[in-house]
Amino acid sequence: MWPRTEEPPFGSAASADDGEADFPEAAAHLLEEQRVAIVGLGLIGGSLALALRGRCARLLAVERDPDTRALARARGVVDEVSEAPERILPQADVVVLATPVQAIVELLAQLPKWHPGPAVVLDVGSTKAAIVAAMAALPPRFDPLGGHPMAGKETSGLAQAEARLFRGAPFALTPLPRTTGRAKALAAALVKSVGARALWLEPLTHDRWVAAVSHLPYLVSLALTLATPEEAAALLGPGFRSTSRLAASSPRMMGDILSTNREAVLTALAGFERQLAALRAALEADDEIVLQALLAQGPARRTALLRLVEEGE
């Protein structure tokens, strides 16, 4: 089982298969009574909105881009969308911040002037320490906790959003010391309603883990793509396409992620560089025995990691 740093609400299981968390029926119905506002209708915010349709009392959105607002209205993604946070946010019982990380930090600083409170505040940013620190500065009328669904695509925007994006995915929740049981219950209900699995973590633990399993893979994918000569393009096959997929991610989004999780990413990079150096040394020495020993570790290690995921579910 996964290590836990905080008990989930009502003493329930911290994660459950396909989001079927075992908390009381009252918590399951809690979300149905809430007016939820999502700030940012990109891939994650838009997918969250699609997954929440019909599962809350009213679904609202703040979105700056006029084309995205038009698409949201045309597709009936939310009940109301506007570029003006001062118009939308005061209506909300739950505010979900679904923008790049640095923008979330900035939104948290502005939130008190837009919302009279009270409100539960949740985010879906890819790093947590900086965001949770900003949440701690919110006035007492707000009930905040951090969140991060481990789901996405290399493409972005509302046009790529889909309601099933979070199905079966881990959804990290990082409460603050001030976070109430009600806010935790609401967060758990939201996670369950979109089909994800709640995983309760401390912010720094989250950032360390996500650096290893998400941010480092992006950098490896990027480095591979940049190192590939154009003359080799004629031989591009499924191996390159799958391995380089993450390099197509939004530069702005990834820049925010890397800058707000710099230390954890550097630690993950150092571990990767050690493994790469061992492979390079074996090749340079033409040491087939060492090379084969290193290569043989790959399938076993991958199997072991995936087995841990299955056990954690």
Secondary structure (3-state) at 38: strand
How far is C-alpha 58 from the geometric centre of its chain's CA atoms? 23
Domains of the chain and any CATH numbers: 9-201 (3.40.50.720), 206-312 (1.10.3660.10)
More confident site: 15 or 281: 281
Average pLDDT over residues 62-84: 97
pLDDT in tens, 190-232: 999 999 999 999 999 999 999 999 999 999 999 999 999 999 9
Q: Collect all residues with Cβ–Cβ distance below 8 Å to 21 and sequence separation of at least 6.
A: 8, 12, 13, 15, 188, 191, 192, 197, 198
pLDDT at 28: 61
CA angle 200–43–184, rounded 5-degree value: 25
Return the pLDDT at 309. Answer: 84
Collapsing DSSP states into helix, strand and coil, what is residue 115? coil
Percent over 90 (pLDDT), the chain: 85
Residue ranges in 15-100 assigned as alpha helix (H): 25-30, 43-52, 66-75, 85-88
Q: What percent of the chain has pLDDT over 70?
A: 91
For residues 88 and 80, give the distance between their C-alpha atoms in angstroms, rounded to a whole number: 8
pLDDT average, residue stretch 48-68 = 97
Mean pLDDT of 162-188: 96
